[in-house]
Structure 1
């Protein structure tokens, strides 16, 4: 018996292309990872319905994914992360002279996320940067974009602007992004993250153009269960989007590698199942720089 096991191990080491035949992939609703991305690892061990990743392995233009790599994600809805409310100083479009001589549309640095700077997203120059970014993403073969910082309309409302104006400017921008992308790929998905309350200012255009919504920290804020009043308030808007036939992707940061709380993870999974959401129990550090080992609990759902 021992000789047989040793022989099999030698065979596998000698022929690594056979290893996938001995691995049972884990079906999971969602994986959300923005750095240290290893597509081979993801497809070897997991079969996610949705996969949210950066357009690049590490955010740089040098290491952007090639079309053949994205094309290999068969059966997976691959979405590229795209921040439209902040400029990121590690992106290809960033110019070093912006530190001392910023364009009119570039605002202050986000204290919580160094290297990220608020932008006046309604500015034509910024919009053109995003459209150029979209060209890259579309050419890579992504099925859509996962749009972050939609809730920037609230930031500007808190900094001297009328919230009805900032909300409608954001809706305008989302519609423009959808129109631009779908002229090149009619099936291109537009999934914003958070900012669900914007539908209070929507006349139907926003709800009609988006393909779904991504939500963070809905049931848990890190390791603490949110109050029912908070959850219900957000669900009022989220369920309106879901009931229009669009998927809801939920990422709660509840996995602590040093102190795994299975009860909380299973509660999150069960709540997502209850509402028909696609859930991802992410690492509590919120960096999205790994694949959460909490995915193993989907075996027990």
Structure 2
């Protein structure tokens, strides 16, 4: 988006966040060719759910230099209100054989260190710049995470893609962690994937009851559906 397009959206009172990935890279992103050419060892195992995407060594300084810092700079130059950072979950999905000596615990700490670094870097230039990671709310348990973020984006808290109630144990765990973040003053952007009218209504009701900013739509997120309400409480 150009600065003029962003300003047009912001003029309606809308907060505009720049999306990018901090724990993975897709082969159609503009950063992929230079990463592949200059630092191919940063690219780890493929994400089975997304064949065009690989997890990366997100703690490596070259990842910061080639991808993360330029993305933050670009977002601020373009006039975005903040960044929406996908794939913190990389810490759970990286093949440990590709990261010698690492454990899930050390990878979680490294992810939080990256989020903290992004927050400190961005806010040093724009104090009100928003830092919003997506999913992995359990990272709140790692020191530094809560203070570094302004909100969190959460997918499939109530309805899984598509039209399936989220009843697994991890659904309740995610909701519990998200509630803690909400109660600490962090806003929650909740997205559930449903087409069935009854499931859409259920997800919207649950989002409102929890006081989350919510959207219920198709998994492709390629349409804008009317919502019955965005926040409760």
2:142 aligned with 1:207: no
Residue 6 of structure 2: aligned partner: 70
Give 3-state SS (helix, strand or coil) of 1:281's partner.
strand
Ranges in structure 2 where 5+ consecutive residues have no aligned partner: none
2:52 aligned with 1:115: yes
Ranges in structure 1 where 5+ consecutive residues have no aligned partner: 1-64, 256-260
Q: Distance in 2 between matches of 1:69 and 1:179?
A: 27
Structure 1 ranges of 4+ moved more than 6 A: none
Shift of residue 89 of structure 1? 1.9
Residues 1:132 and 1:102: Cα distance change in structure 2 (over 3 Å): closer
Deviations 1:189-243 (A, max 9, x none): 001100111223x12x110110011101110112111117443221221111000
> Paired residue for 1:151, among 89, 108, 125?
89
Alignment of 1:1-301 (within 5 A): 65-73=1-9, 74=11, 75-95=13-33, 98=36, 103-128=40-65, 129-156=67-94, 159=97, 161-200=102-141, 202-203=142-143, 205-222=144-161, 223-227=163-167, 229-255=169-195, 261-283=196-218, 286-288=219-221, 290-293=222-225, 295-298=226-229
Aligned 8 A contact 1:281 1:292 in 2: no
Shift of residue 119 of structure 1? 0.4
Aligned 8 A contact 1:144 1:189 in 2: yes
Q: What's the Cα RMSD here? A: 2.2
Q: Distance in 1 between matches of 2:39 and 2:186?
A: 39
Give 3-state SS (helix, strand or coil) of 1:77's partner.
coil
Aligned 8 A contact 2:140 2:181 in 1: no
TM score, norm. by length of structure 2: 0.88
Shift of residue 262 of structure 1? 1.7
Shift of residue 98 of structure 1? 2.5
* Structure of higher CA gyration radius: 1
Residue 7 of structure 1: aligned partner: none
